[in-house]
Amino acid sequence: MNRIIHVEPGSVGKDMPTRTFRLRHDLKDHPLFSLERLARLAASLPADQVEFNGPVEPHQDPTLTPSNGMSAEETVRRIEEAKSWMVIKSPEVDPEYKELLDACLDQVAEQTGQVMGGAHRRSAFIFVTSPGNVTPLHMDPEYNFLLQIRGTKRMSLWDHKDRNIASAEALELFPGKHRNLPYREEFEASATHQHLEPGDAIFVPLFDPHWVKNGDAVSVSFSITWHTDESERQVKLSYINAALRRIGFPQGEADANPVWDGIKVAAYDTLRPIYDTVKRFVGDRQKAVKLFFGKTENAI
C-alpha cells in the first residue's frame, strides 16, 4: 500500500511513546469513510460494537446520557442534523478496515524505528459526530492516534500525571467503570489545545485525559490503537490498584515502588484468568465483580 501516514522526522524521540505529537495522513477522501459506507458498516455490526447518543457536555453525567431515538444506521445517515455522537468499535472485524488499520500502524512503526505503532492488540474506533458535538473528558487505556478524516475538531489534552486534572483514583481502571472523568472549566488554562483539520492526526498517550469538541460540520475520525509490554503493565497495575482501593488499601503512584508493582502485576496475571472463568460461569460482569470485590456501587 502507498504511504498514507507521514511522521515528521525528529518528532519521535527515544522516550516515546509518552508525549503527544502531530502527524499527517492521506485518508480524507478514502471510500471506507464515506457516510454511505459507514452506515452499512454500523448496520452490519452487533449492537455492542456501535455506541451512540444524543448531545452531551464535557462534564456529562454518564447515568444521564441522552439517547437519540434512532437506529445506528439511521444515526449515520442523518448525522448532519442528529445532534449525536457515535463510536464504531473494532471495525477491523471487516477485512477492509483491518487492512487499513494494519497499514497505518505498520507505516508508523517503519517511520519511527519501531518505537511507535507496535504489534500488540491492534484495534480501531471510528467516531461519527454531528456539528458542534462533544466527547466528554476521558482517558484511554491504550496508545492512540486520532486521524481526522472529515470536519474539524478541537482537543484539550493534559498529562495523566497532573493531579490537578485527575486524581490517581479517577484514572484507575475497574470492570464496568464509566470512562468519563470529572471536568471543570478552569482545567482549560493548563490544557494543550490541538486543532485538527482533515489530513491532521495526533498521538494521544496512554491515560492522558482529553475532551473533544467538533467544529460546525459533521466530523469523522479514525482512532487507531495498540499496546506495548509497557502499556499492558501499566493497565494491569491500574486494575490491581483500583481493586486494592476498593477493599480499603489505596496505593501510591505507579512506579513509586517497582518491586511492589512487580508483585501486583504478577497477581493480576494470576487472578485475571480466574476472574474471566468466573465471569463466564456466572454469565454477567456485575455478578463477577461482586463475587470478587464484594461491592458494585461504582460499577456502571
Which spans of this chain sit near Fe ion (rule: CB under 5 A)? 140
Cell of 243: 481493586
E-strand stretches of the chain:
5-6, 22-25, 50-53, 85-89, 120-129, 134-138, 143-150, 153-157, 192-196, 200-204, 210-214, 219-227
Q: How many other CB atoms sit within 10 Å of the CB of residue 271?
A: 15
Nearer to Fe ion, 92 or 140 (CB): 140
Give the nearest distance from C-beta 140 to Fe ion in angstroms.
4
Nearer to Fe ion, 137 or 254 (CB): 137
Nearer to Fe ion, 23 or 265 (CB): 23
Q: How far is CA 157 from the centre of its chain?
A: 13
Give the nearest distance from C-beta 46 to Fe ion in angstroms.
22
Nearest residue to Fe ion on Cβ basis = 140
Give the nearest distance from C-beta 125 to Fe ion in angstroms.
8
Give the nearest distance from C-beta 127 to Fe ion in angstroms.
9
Nearer to Fe ion, 75 or 223 (CB): 223
Nearer to Fe ion, 25 or 279 (CB): 25
Nearer to Fe ion, 140 or 172 (CB): 140
Distance in angstroms (rounded) separating the CA atoms of residues 5 and 201:
9
Give the nearest distance from C-beta 138 to Fe ion in angstroms.
6
Cell of 293: 470485590
Give the nearest distance from C-beta 299 to Fe ion in angstroms.
21
Nearer to Fe ion, 83 or 138 (CB): 138
Give the nearest distance from C-beta 246 to Fe ion in angstroms.
25
Q: How many other CB atoms sit within 10 Å of the CB of residue 247?
A: 10
Q: Which residues pair with 183 in a beta bridge?
A: none
